[in-house]
Structure 1
Amino acid sequence: MRITVSAALALTLAVGVTQAAAAVDAPASTDGLWRMDGYGTVLALRDGQLQEYQTTAVSCLKGFAARQTRPGVYTTPDNVVLTVRTRRDRDRATVAIDGSAGHRKLRRIPALPDDCTRPAPSGPLASFDVFWHSFAENYPFFSAKGIDWESMRTRYRAKVHPGITRDELFAVFRDMVSPMYDAHVAVGDGDKYFAQGRPGTELPTEELDEKAKKYIVRRDLAKARNLRNFANGRITYADLPGDRGYLRISGFDGYAAEGAPYSAERAVLDQTLDTVLTSQRAKRLKGLIIDLRINGGGSDLLGVRIAERLTDSPYVAYRKRARNDSTDPTKYTSPEPVRVTPAQAPHYTGPIAVLTGGSTVSAGETFTQSLIARPEGRVVRIGQPTQGVFSDILGRVLPNGMGAVLPNEQYLTSTGDTFDGPGIPPHLKEPVFTEEEFAKNRDSAYDRALNVLR
């Protein structure tokens, strides 16, 4: 799983909502300056342009930009669409960023923060301070991971001096975040890049995905019927003996042409689901295996869209909140429910076996979480715990042109807990794509699923 670090990072990786905000006014009233609740962000909407400012206690740096494409709607050069709507008092608004779940609340402010009107800080120490504060003010998991970020500052700032090279500074940042073992944390400088997952897991790559897919087709699907690939090969479906189905999803993006907007991704998914979950098949199936063992994530809302084809009753998939106090890591935005509404199309409501592992990442995990509260129940998770990263990714630019990404959100269960860190555990533990499994021509998780769905 490769994360691209750029000025537009916050949007290309942390795409937002499609649900409409309540009690909205005419979009023309959105012009002005807005501070986001959480996210360390100020938005300037003027003269048909949107400009992001990334703020900390010591800095304000320009982030992504977008142009107005219709009233209240802005599009980035990467075709990410933002929709801004004010509430009745005109000093409150929400921003909807196509592709993931939850609103981001905005409050009108009279002027840009002072740091935004001064020359940006420069030099290695300035970059270090912005880096450290970006995590100190936004990262939610220091306590859970046993990391003393204050001591990290004392230890590593002493290594930074005016003559430090870029490679040396990159190494400092890498060493600071290494103890997090968080796949949603990364540091980048041009082609140089560092990220890592939870110990004992392997992050998904195209090579791993292709290897697993070939193995599954050869071993597990040898007797399957109607084997087809969809969505640029990201989705595979097959009918199995005994009126069971197999649905493999390797990610929640990349369905349409490169650079296509979320609407195109959604259209391809809908077409795929219409082909796979026909009315006849949805009624005939006695069990469905959903294979997420190699899943690199993507759009949370595409996962919600699949969940909408797997239920007859509306329900809350999870509640989402973001850290919003720079000095108090226990303070968050109000949790917002992300809802699953049954699709106006054929849907399957029978038993499901979900296959997961440490290479089930991000949106692959939020989709898994969305099935936990499925009213029909009868969802059994088999394999290994997921990677343990759920948040949209917050992109930060540094004064020297380097970049970093980090999570700042939590996805809450009905009991107010999260699976961040250890991941979502399976009901039934089985090895997942180990060397021993490959060597002995085994797929224990798949075989267990077949037994469960008898």
Structure 2
Amino acid sequence: MKKIALTTLALLAISGCNDSDKKKSDSVANNYTGIWDAPAYGELIEINSDSSLNIYRYTPDICWIEDSLSSVDIKTLETKIRFYDSTNFIERFDDYGTSDFHAPGTVFEKQEQLPYICQSDNLIDLVNLELEPLQTFDIIKNIYRHHYVDFNLKNINFDQLADSIRINLSDNSSQEDVAIALYQILSPLEDIHNSITLDNITLSSKNKPLYTDIIRQEFATTTGLPFSFEEDELTETQLGNYKQHASNRINKYLEGISYFEPEDKPVQVVAGGLISWFINEGIGYINIGAMFGYGETNEEQLESINKIMQDFIEANVNSSAVIIDVRTNFGGHDFISLAIAQYFTDSEMHVYSKQARLDNGFTELTDVILEPLETETYFNGPVYVLTSASTVSGAEVFALTMSALPNVTTVGELSQGAFSDVLDWEFSEEIKISIANERYVTPAGDWYEGLGVPVDIYVPFFEFIPDSVDEPIDPAIAAVIADLTN
């Protein structure tokens, strides 16, 4: 199995203008020239000898050029791709971190020629594409059929389901009819990473309700509204009552945390409120609200999160334990999750493996190896990671990573169960889809898609805490304290 070490992924260094450097640049340019294919992602990169570049998207049935550049230089190219294992493979990493630190990217293998479906006579013209309703349904259905991670997760016969829904459509159907039909094939998959956008209507379904859904359902139940109500459908009074209910519920949750906050020291709030932390009774607590939003570029985000974590770890050098709260973290970038996790190990660890759906199987597993920091800035005492059903995507990758470390205990609820990166397909501004096409598995081979990361100590999240409770400390924090004192 291929392995990616996440600390020293160096690209080929090409700079300068003397003759030897020029020859090296030409040599590398010749190596990059060619057809590069990532069939599990339905993507091709064509780099031509004249430095032009085309990006294709394809299924076995259709192919189109998604983007083109008339000229690309090697220096720019190598901010996005690098050779992987040999000159027969490249890895595109720009969506996954920086050149020096990134999560597993998309790997492309060199091919002799474009597949038949992507040759010029067979390409579809997206600019002038006018799809009939049945064509739209069939194209999107087939992309899901070829790329969705595993229909057996929900015991779904996808072809049978799709055929039973398609018979209700015709070329006289409206786009709304098509959207509803597509939602009917997507909804049973119950994966937050699957979505369909038609004419600015985005449809998706979740595996478990988020805390925001719980708030909505509570309000709907007490007012007699349908669970699916939209805020713009409410009267001014109803909207005010709904916002007040949401505020009360969130404040009740925050009160449970604030009860544990120190009285003599301010809470540190950083990154525009995405992260807050404090130390009390020898225990460090940090709430991480997202795995994105820490800068304009990946480099800025990595620099920012490293500075925040260094400050937190240095402040906790004498702490007996650390609590990391990601219960309301809807996710973001895996590389942010991995960057944070590095601060809690002093040895190299295989934390998870990853692969993508390919035909009727999967690509080769890629092992993700978490390496210790080169500095002494790490905490290897007891660490408690708080999770819930509202711990989603990149935050789940963080929980999965941390659960592989020997000093970590997970507390709370199983996470959402939606680990995969999102595979996006865009036909136009009006037609877009997203698909979960990847498996994230533990070093032991366990796959938690649709289930969520297991917890060592189960504590329900976002339940009402009676006002009569004298010490309404957050139940998960209370469970941590109890575990430490046992």
If the TM-score is normalised by the length of the shorter chain, which range does it land in? 0.7 to 0.9
2:272 paired with 1:232 = yes
Distance 1:255 1:167 in 2: 37
Cross-structure match for 2:92: 95
Letter in 1 for 2:9: A
Cross-structure match for 1:11: none
Distance 1:352 1:65 in 2: 48
Cross-structure match for 2:411: 382
Match 2:124 to one of 119, 123, 126: 119
Distance 2:252 2:303 in 1: 27
Distance 1:425 1:86 in 2: 33
Deviation by residue 1:339-359 (Cα, 9 ceiling, x = unmatched): 111112311000011110000
- Superposition map of 1:295-444 within 5 A: 295-325=329-359, 328=360, 331-345=361-375, 346-374=377-405, 377-398=406-427, 401-436=430-465, 441=472, 443-444=474-475
Structure 1 residues 268 and 85 mapped into 2: Cα distance closer, same or farther (>3 Å)?
same
Shift of 1:219: 3.1
Match 2:58 to one of 55, 58, 74: 55
Deviation by residue 1:327-349 (Cα, 9 ceiling, x = unmatched): x1xx2111111111111231100
State the secondary structure of the residue aligned to 1:453.
helix
Letter in 1 for 2:303: A
Distance 2:468 2:255 in 1: 11
Structure 1 residues 266 and 67 mapped into 2: Cα distance closer, same or farther (>3 Å)?
farther
Cross-structure match for 1:85: 83
Structure 1 residues 422 and 68 mapped into 2: Cα distance closer, same or farther (>3 Å)?
farther
Structure 1 residues 200 and 401 mapped into 2: Cα distance closer, same or farther (>3 Å)?
closer
- Superposition map of 1:283-298 within 5 A: 283-298=317-332
Does the Cα contact within 8 Å between 1:21 and 1:94 map onto a contact in 2? no
Does the Cα contact within 8 Å between 1:18 and 1:101 map onto a contact in 2? no
Distance 2:453 2:205 in 1: 18
Does the Cα contact within 8 Å between 2:396 and 2:419 map onto a contact in 1? yes
2:184 paired with 1:156 = no
Distance 1:439 1:196 in 2: 37
Does the Cα contact within 8 Å between 2:256 and 2:473 map onto a contact in 1? no
State the secondary structure of the residue aligned to 2:267.
strand
Higher deviation after alignment, 356-365 or 192-201 = 192-201
Cross-structure match for 1:139: 148
Letter in 2 for 1:177: L
Cross-structure match for 2:189: 180
CA RMSD, 1 decimal = 3.1
Distance 1:216 1:380 in 2: 20
Higher helix share: 2
Count of residue pairs the alignment pairs up? 420
Structure 1 residues 179 and 312 mapped into 2: Cα distance closer, same or farther (>3 Å)?
same
Deviation by residue 1:230-252 (Cα, 9 ceiling, x = unmatched): 222111110112x1100111111
State the secondary structure of the residue aligned to 2:142.
helix
Higher deviation after alignment, 17-26 or 264-273 = 17-26
Distance 2:251 2:64 in 1: 42
Structure 1 residues 59 and 270 mapped into 2: Cα distance closer, same or farther (>3 Å)?
same
Letter in 2 for 1:230: V
Question: What percentage of aligned pairs have identical amino acids?
Answer: 22
Shift of 1:313: 0.7
State the secondary structure of the residue aligned to 1:312.
coil
TM-score (norm 1): 0.83
Distance 1:422 1:269 in 2: 29
Structure 1 residues 21 and 54 mapped into 2: Cα distance closer, same or farther (>3 Å)?
farther
Cross-structure match for 2:38: 36
Higher deviation after alignment, 118-127 or 381-390 = 118-127
Structure 1 residues 438 and 357 mapped into 2: Cα distance closer, same or farther (>3 Å)?
farther
Does the Cα contact within 8 Å between 2:252 and 2:465 map onto a contact in 1? no
Structure 1 residues 249 and 49 mapped into 2: Cα distance closer, same or farther (>3 Å)?
farther
Deviation by residue 1:389-430 (Cα, 9 ceiling, x = unmatched): 111110012479411111111111122121111101211111
Does the Cα contact within 8 Å between 1:397 and 1:404 map onto a contact in 2? yes
Distance 2:71 2:298 in 1: 17
Structure 1 residues 188 and 447 mapped into 2: Cα distance closer, same or farther (>3 Å)?
same
Shift of 1:293: 0.4
